[in-house]
Structures are given as structure tokens and as C-alpha cells.
Amino acid sequence: MTSAINEEVFVSFPNFETQRLLLRRFRLSDAERLFEIRSNFRVMRYMDTFPEPNIQAIRHKIQEMNLAFDLKLGLNWAIMDKQSDKMIGYFGIWRIEWDNCRGEIGYSLDPDYWGNGYMSEVFQTIIPFGFRQLNLHSMEANINPHNESSRKILLKHGFVKEAYFQENFFFDGQFLDSEIYSLLEKNFISRPNSHS
Ligand SMILES: CC(C)(COP(=O)(O)OP(=O)(O)OC[C@H]1O[C@@H](n2cnc3c(N)ncnc32)[C@H](O)[C@@H]1OP(=O)(O)O)[C@@H](O)C(=O)NCCC(=O)NCCS
């Protein structure tokens, strides 16, 4: 069987407009803002990766994210606040397994914008896109078990805990646990944009 991933999606980058946000392709000019977000301790606390050391490294990351789209291996959106035109975070279906029609998601918001439902607004847009347009069969998220806010948003949007790996990830001198969450297309229920 050939992959059911919808290749048409990769013809031109899918930008989205939600009630309060624009989701668009990254530009190199986003580097300073992305650097600011990824240098924030509260953002990076449970990411289990070191922040990029300088703007040059962030530019390289942006190029890699855009290249992933050109290679049809991932999609990464800059999250823009429509009112201020400020980048407030990012969301990626950053890895796509074509054989398994499975996408791994990753996301972050500037802490100044936490607790306003912004990331939920992104989930409500990108998850349906992933299933209905990209044709994924399932989506996955890998979190540090201490990352309560990440777990909370996944559960809120229908993801279920699928696995707990003990000390499977070595970072910064320590073996860390991981939790894997997933959402299958058949269990996906489109949720209204409500505050629950
Ligand atoms: C994970 C992360 C994106 C969640 O951000 P968030 O702002 O808590 O998520 P949401 O957009 O869903 O907002 C939910 C909160 O907004 C509140 N809210 C306010 N207005 C709302 C509205 N109109 N709609 C929905 N929720 C609203 C909710 O009550 C909820 O608050 P609560 O958590 O106190 O119950 C954020 O914590 C983050 O960037 N963390 C650091 C990076 C990270 O760890 N990323 C994940 C790696 S695996």
C-alpha cells in the first residue's frame, strides 16, 4: 500500500487565520523573536534540549524548519498575534512518518501569553488540518512527565497516554523519563472553540 498522506498539501505552505491568530510559514526575520522565546527558561524548562546559543543558530533552525516543508517531512508554523502582529510562539507537525501516516507535534508559547487559550486555538485549527487535509492516521506528542501544562493541553484535545518510558532519554548528564501521547484519526472529535 502506498502512503495516504496528501502530497497536495506541500504545493504551497498552508497558512491559517483563527479568531485571534495567524499561523504562517517562518521567515528569517522571525529569528530575533524566536531566539527570545527559546532563550526563556520557562519555555525551555521541560524541552530537554539546550537553547540555541545565538541568532545564527536560530536562523539555521528556521531554515531547517522551512526545508522540512520543502522535503515534505514536516510543517512548522509561526504563531502571530493578529492584533499586534507579534510572534507569540510556534507549532509544528514537525516530523511526518509517511509510511505510518503519523505526525509528531511540538509547540511553545511565549509565557507572557500563557493561560489565554491561544495554544488551544492553534490545536483546534491544526489538528483537523492534520487529519482531514494532510490525511494523517495518528498524531503523537512526546513530553517530559513533569510538563503539566503540555499534558493538560494534550488531554484537553483528546490525546491519550500511550506509553511511559523510564530513563530512555539522556540529556544534560541525566537519564530522563518520557511520556508519549497520541490521537488517532478515528477518535478525533472536532471541538468547538469553547473555553472549557
Ligand atoms: C504547553 C503550553 C503551550 C500551554 O500553553 P497554555 O497557555 O497553558 O495553553 P492554552 O492555550 O490551552 O491555554 C489554556 C489556559 O488558558 C485559559 N483560557 C483563558 N481564556 C481561554 C479561552 N478563550 N479558550 C481556552 N482557554 C482559555 C484556560 O483556562 C487554561 O488555563 P489553565 O491552564 O489555568 O486551566 C505552554 O505552557 C508552553 O509554551 N510551555 C513551554 C513549552 C513546552 O513545554 N512545550 C511543550 C513541549 S512538549
- Which of 40, 119, 125 is the pocket-test mutation for ligand 1 (most atoms within 8 Å of CB)? 119
Residue with CA at minimum distance from ligand 1 atom 10: 117
Domain for residue 4, yes or no? no
Domain for residue 180, yes or no? yes
Q: What is the Å distance from ligand 1's center to 159 Cα?
A: 15
Report the alpha-carbon distance of residue 75 to residue 26 in Å, rounded: 10
Q: How many domains does the chain have?
A: 1
Domain for residue 193, yes or no? no
Assign residue 62 the CATH number of its domain. 3.40.630.30
**pLDDT digit string (tens) for 145-196?**
999 999 999 999 999 999 999 999 999 999 999 999 999 999 998 755 444 3
β-partners of residue 141 are 181
Domain for residue 64, yes or no? yes
So what's the pLDDT on residue 125?
98
Residue with CA at minimum distance from ligand 1 atom 15: 115
Instruction: Tell me the residue range of the domain where 69 lies.
Output: 15-187
**pLDDT digit string (tens) for 51-63?**
999 999 999 999 9
Domain for residue 147, yes or no? yes
**pLDDT digit string (tens) for 89-144?**
999 999 999 999 999 999 999 999 999 999 999 999 999 999 999 999 999 999 99
Q: What is the Å distance from ligand 1's center to 50 Cα?
A: 22
**pLDDT digit string (tens) for 80-94?**
999 999 999 999 999
Domain for residue 26, yes or no? yes
Domain for residue 49, yes or no? yes
Query: What pTM value is reported for the model?
Result: 0.95
Closest ligand 1 atom to the C-alpha of 89? 39
